[in-house]
Amino acid sequence: MCRKAPVSSLFINKWLFLLCMACCTTTANTTFCFRQTFGINSILYQRGIYPAETFSRVTQYDMSLQLTTDPKLKTYLTNVVTQLKEWLFDCTVQKLVVVITCLETNEVLERWQFDIECDKTAKDSSAPREKSIKAIQEEIRSVIRQITATVTFLPLLETACAFDLLIYTDKDLEVPEQWEESGPQLIDQSEEVRLRSFTTSIHKVNSMVAYKRTNSM
């Protein structure tokens, strides 16, 4: 089932998105949840579709990243990510999609998709399924580097844009009233590029970007 995140009251020209993944490692005595955050807001920063002055440079995973400083947007993203983390921990999320659309026509221009494979037996397993934080961070760094490299081939976005956040969940999942069902918002005549995958103790994430084919392609 495809869920659409609650619509924010913000309708500034462009958006950025900060995605939070949960990495859960089970041992005999305790469950350790390490929250990995990685900058999908870097996608829109690198694409040049949000004013540079609304970002703040931070260092994470031994990399320099740009994060939003807008208070209302930060609150909105925090609310979305809080719900997302709960679903990730319960292994009820199948994929997440950031959809970039033309603000004027609502035409879908880009679609950043993160497919999530979850081992639902991992949380109940008595055997530890550990993966080092260092290994996870290195995989995430590789994904971020590849996202940054996409600026070399993605078409320019020459119009004001907005984004939708779509979360594909199990069909029987109860969701908050603020969330609504949505269509997939696919791109007509698209090109697709696969990005690198990364894994946590119970999740494997495969990512790709689809973008609208231009006349010159």
DSSP string, 6-57: PPPS---S-----EEEEEEEE-SS-EEEEEEEE-THHHHHHTT-S-GGGEEE
Tally of domains within the chain: 1
Q: For residue 200, which of 112, 138, 147 has the smallest C-alpha distance?
A: 138
Q: What is the pLDDT of residues 42-69, one digit of tens each?
A: 766 777 766 788 888 888 767 777 787 7
Contact (CB, 8 A) for 195 and 175:
no
Beta-carbon contacts of 18 under 8 Å, excluding residues fewer than 6 positions away, are 37, 39, 40, 41, 67, 68, 77, 81
CATH code of 11's domain: 3.30.900.10
Residue 123: inside a domain: yes
Beta-carbon contacts of 216 under 8 Å, excluding residues fewer than 6 positions away, are none
Q: What is the pLDDT of residues 77-92, one digit of tens each?
A: 777 777 878 887 788 8
Region 175-179 average pLDDT: 79
- Distance set, CA 71 to CA 42, 55, 125, 168 (Å): 18, 12, 41, 27
This prediction's pTM: 0.76
Contact (CB, 8 A) for 21 and 200:
yes
Q: To which residue do tokens 């590849």 refer?
A: 146
Alpha carbon distance 19, 167 (integer Å)? 12
Alpha helices in the chain (DSSP H): 41-46, 71-89, 133-149
| Residue-number span of the structural domain to which 158 is assigned | 2-212
Determine which of 29-33, 61-65, 78-82, 213-217 has the lowest per-residue pLDDT on average: 29-33
Residue 164: inside a domain: yes
Confidence of residue 147 (pLDDT cuts 50, 70, 90): confident
Query: Which has more confidence, 103 or 29?
Result: 103
Q: How many CA within 13 A on the CB side of residue 213?
A: 8
Residue 217: inside a domain: no
48: phi > 0 → left, psi -120 to 50 → alpha, else beta; which?
A: left
